[in-house]
Amino acid sequence: DAKTTQPNSMESNEEEPVHLPCNHSTISGTDYIHWYRQLPSQGPEYVIHGLTSNVNNRMASLAIAEDRKSSTLILHRATLRDAAVYYCILRRNAGNMLTFGGGTRLMVKP
């Protein structure tokens, strides 16, 4: 199984950009890169996903390395409500399985 590696925790100041890294050196050609976040006492929430090209949506941006062995989730202006655990996940095209890693706990300071 392709695994992901993320830092255990990161800190950010409110209203500053945050770059959350993820390494996935064993990614296969058909694996999609997904990001979810989990706020305290809630179920995970979809953030963004991509395959090869960089992606933007209303919540965040996803920058994917050219060799696809790493990616970065970008929150353009962190708010206190963005404090959560962020999971970088690879989805196999075959079997439709999601494998969650340990995630990065993001702390946002006012």
Partner 1 sequence: NAGVTQTPKFRILKIGQSMTLQCTQDMNHNYMYWYRQDPGMGLKLIYYSVGAGITDKGEVPNGYNVSRSTTEDFPLRLELAAPSQTSVYFCASIRRREDQETQYFGPGTRLLVL
If binding is defined by CB under 8 A, does position 29 make contact with partner 1? Answer: no
Site of tokens 């963005």: 82
Cα–Cα distance for residue pair 84/40, rounded to 1 Å: 7
Identity of the residue, 39 or 80, whose beta carbon is nearer to partner 1 in the bound complex: 39
If binding is defined by CB under 8 A, does position 86 make contact with partner 1? Answer: no
If binding is defined by CB under 8 A, does position 39 make contact with partner 1? Answer: no
Q: How many residues bind partner 1 (CB under 8 A)?
A: 21
Contact 64, 2 (CB under 8 A): no
CB of 99 to partner 1, least distance (A): 7
CB atoms within 10 A of CB 105: 16
